[in-house]
Structure 1
Amino acid sequence: MSPSELKEFLDAKVEEYNSPKFIESDPIQIPHLFTQKEDIEIAAFLTSTIAWGNRKSIINNANKLMDMMGHTPYDFVINHSETDLEQLQPFVHRTFNGEDAIQFIKCLKHIYTKHNGLETLFALHAEPYSVQKSISEFKRTFFEIDHLQRTQKHVSDPLKNSAAKRINMYLRWMVRPNNTGVDLGIWKSITPAQLSCPLDVHSGNVARKLGLLTRKQNDAKALLELDTALRTLDPKDPVKYDFALFGLGVFEGF
């Protein structure tokens, strides 16, 4: 395919998959349950954190976590008691367990009470065409309180060569406008132009088949290569192509 044919093909796939029907089988349905900004962003952050493995299992477990928090995630984060936290002990999704969930709630409270919330913190270190330094600084701040060492593995650091798929997906949810009813678009201090594609096995494989990516590992170097290619297709909203790459990989077995 020529560059113009590739863009036309991918733009059509974005249009196909960036639609409300996408939500039915995607974890993004969890933050869509809420209307208050803080509830949305906390529900989205916790859901994206456990977004690996079987998607049905991710959705079920994210719903369980919301149940355990009384479906008021922001109020739970800010006003929880020790007894409230103990209710999270039985939670488990793969290697993310109740201890990790409790630690996340404590870290989130610190972010809201000491750093003016998630959006402010991520926007603080955003660069003109990258949020990867933001993600690294976010992790450092998130764990600046006393914490379990084991829980650190559940927040990726792009400056340590991670593709940080789940946090890049979270930022897509928060930042991209809600023009089609899929992404939530509640953060205005970061623009879609600054975002990176959530790179995983599906999007990586499709990107390689389409000639958008040559690096074999799905790491930070591969993410930079893919981002650079996607920015040539649409510099203002490169991460929209996540819908095309993911859809082609998961739904079409491209």
Structure 2
Amino acid sequence: MANKLKIEHLKDFLDEKAELYDNPRFIESDPIQIPHQFTRKEDIEIIAFLVATIAWGNRKGIINNGNKLVTIMGNSPYDFILNYSSVKSKKGILQNFVHRTFNAVDLDYFILSLQNIYLNHDGLESIFSNHQTKDSLQPAIHQFKKVFFELNHEKRTEKHVSDPLKNSAAKRINMFLRWMVRPNNTGVDFGLWKSISTSKLSCPLDVHTGNIGRRLGLLHRKTNDAKALIELDSSLRMFDKYDPVKYDFALFGLGVFENFR
């Protein structure tokens, strides 16, 4: 009984924090503001995927470079990738782009791969939707990486797409999937992908969500890897099996905005 009361109290606490941070004010300091500049489905998902890919490090720097990507793509990501020519472009508008270890070589391949995905694989949603399992999107991420790198590419570029089946928490892709799948009830996430249930989403596990998860007893594994993600997901699904990743807002907000101890 005591343990049940503790769980219920923690659920109430996390529900309150999730509601606090899952609102449009969150967008003001978060990279999700970049895809919010667009209305067309393809524009949103393409720029969201690229911004999520560079979403590590200082958030101000991520947002600045996200806006640079928008400029490079002429404020029309979908049209840009469909009409992209590597030979013509990588010596010009891409050559100065860099975000930490993600550079113009990587960006060139990412654009070519996205072009291939929309021309030959029916778009990003189709890949994840076709490879989802009964209760998870992690195997779909693994399959997505295989499709994404089916063109000729430099080996170094592969490090920018994580693989959960190689024990990665795949934080950035899980964040992208949250953006695409969770309903736009509060004006933060987009809810564009109706073919995938929110119950299959996983928390974007990073240093903030991991640390807070451990302090709250939701996570015990010390390394932020795929095994830790399974543990955290299992804990969050106890509180809401239909939308467990809403607690990403609570854990992230407690870590970044409240310095929770």
TM-score, normalised on structure 1? 0.99
Hey, what does 1:26 align to over in structure 2? 30
Map residues 119-138 of structure 1 onto 2, 5 A cutoff. 119-138=125-144
Partner of 2:203: 197
Query: Equivalents in 2 of 1:248, 1:20: separation in Å?
Result: 17
> 2:50 maps to which residue?
46
Shift in Å, 1:129 = 1.5
- 1:169 and 1:218 map into 2 onto residues whose CA distance is 15
| Alignment-derived partner of residue 116 in structure 1 | 122
> Offset at 1:231?
0.5
Aligned residues: 254
| Contact persistence 2:84–2:112 (CA under 8 A) | no
State the Cα distance separating 1:84 from its structure 2 match.
2.9
Percentage identity across paired residues of the two chains: 66
Counterparts in 2 of 1:90-105, with a 5 A limit?
A: 90-105=96-111
Q: State how far apart, in whole Å, the 2-side matches of 1:39 and 1:46 are.
A: 11
2:242 is paired with a residue whose SS is: coil
What is aligned with 1:186? 192
Alignment of 1:60-209 (within 5 A): 60-81=64-85, 82-86=87-91, 87-209=93-215
The residue number in structure 1 matching 2:231 is 225
SS in 2 for 1:45: helix
Distance 2:84 2:116 in 1: 12
Paired residue secondary structure (1:236): coil
What is the deviation of 1:28? 0.2
SS at match of 1:48: helix
Q: Does structure 2 retain, via aligned residues, the 8 Å contact 1:89–1:102?
A: no
Task: Give structure 2 stretches of 5+ with no counterpart.
Answer: none
**C-alpha displacement at 1:148, in angstroms?**
1.2
Assess if the C-alpha contact under 8 Å between 2:236 and 2:244 holds in 1.
yes
**SS of corresponding position for 2:217:** coil
- Measured after TM superposition, the shift of residue 85 of structure 1 is 3.6
Deviation at 1:56, TM superposition (A): 0.3
Q: Which residue does the alignment assign to 2:18?
A: 14
Offset of residue 61 of structure 1? 0.3
> Contact (CA 8 Å) 2:178, 2:201: kept in 1 or not?
yes
Amino acid at match of 1:32: H
Q: Matches of 1:152 and 1:171 in 2, distance apart?
A: 19
